[in-house]
Amino acid sequence: MESFLAQPPVQSALAPFVASLVLAVALLRAPARWQGLAIVAGLLLAVLLILGPALTPLTSTRKIVVASLGLPLLAMALDLSPLRWRTGVGIVVFAAVLALLWVLWPVLMRGAPGEDVLLGGGLALYVAALLMVFARLGQCCARLAGAALGVAVATGVAAVLAASALYGQLAFALAAAVGGLTALRLWRPGLEGGAGCFGLGGAMAVAVPLALLGASASVYARLPVMALPLLALSPLLALAPLATQRPAWLRVVVAGLLSLAPSAGAVYLTWQVAGAGAAGY
């Protein structure tokens, strides 16, 4: 059993997909805004299998995990609160930028003062942009599912090429968790249009880990910084008008393909800069 659970396809695909699906089934009767918990559960199981349960030593990777699991819960709480949606988004974006600085602190501390501001500021912009786009997508469920799948897979491939199989596994696990929830929502048509709305919590369950993984890979791994604008552009294309009368699964696929186009550019750029990375030997 231990060797089975140690297989990367199990850790990054099967386990998070099943965990997300199981919790999504459990939450079928709950309000749609709770559905994002399924994604969090899938990612959590993947983290336990890949990294283990220990939070110490509190390396940058574990900080990413803490923020990726905690901030969606904050977003869910804000979604359920009387606060306006935009205020909730603003608070989560601010918290995510703080989380980014926390993750990158060892590097920012060592750099020259001007370099810190440039690096930290640029990456904070990337995180904020990605979160705001996904928050917008969270209001249209098929788009969010498609964009999440496309960007997560692309981030995973780029991370592996950038020499971090660990970051890649976490991104793939996120895609699998989104897949589990989406599969259930598509299978039960009539539930909020098929691919149900994930709410701010669900959107942030996708956006926060992707943003932190991408930004961190440009510092701690070999992801070229120029790949980040392409990754940030990817979910934007999923905002293109999609005919609502089309089947939900088709809208998910179209949104996914639209978001894959610039993501593929990010992957190609990474391949050119870093070569085959962690997949190359």
Interaction between residue 277 and another protein (CB under 8 A): yes
Encoding tokens for residue 260? 């894959």
Alpha carbon distance 76, 6 (integer Å): 32
Interaction between residue 53 and another protein (CB under 8 A): no
Number of CB atoms found within 10 A of residue 212's CB: 29
Residue 149 · residue 263 · CB < 8 Å: no
Q: Which candidate, 8, 2, 4, places its Cα nearest to that of 172?
A: 8
Interaction between residue 60 and another protein (CB under 8 A): yes
Binding string, residues 33-52; x marks residues near another protein by CB under 8 A? -----------------xxx
Which ranges in 81-164 belong to alpha helices (H)? 85-110, 113-137, 141-161
Interaction between residue 220 and another protein (CB under 8 A): yes
Nearer to another protein, 221 or 248 (CB): 221
One residue of 222, 231, 269, 270 binding another protein per CB under 8 A: 222
Alpha carbon distance 165, 167 (integer Å): 6
Q: How far is the CB of 149 from another protein (least distance, A)?
A: 24
Alpha carbon distance 14, 35 (integer Å): 19
**Region near another protein per CB under 8 A, out of 24-32, 105-113, 121-129, 263-271:** 105-113
Interaction between residue 11 and another protein (CB under 8 A): no
Which residues in the chain belong to E strands, given as ranges? none
Interaction between residue 128 and another protein (CB under 8 A): no
One residue of 167, 172, 198, 249 binding another protein per CB under 8 A: 167
Task: Tell me which residues touch another protein (CB under 8 A).
Answer: 2, 6, 50-52, 54, 56-57, 59-61, 106-107, 110, 162-167, 216, 219-222, 274-278, 280-281
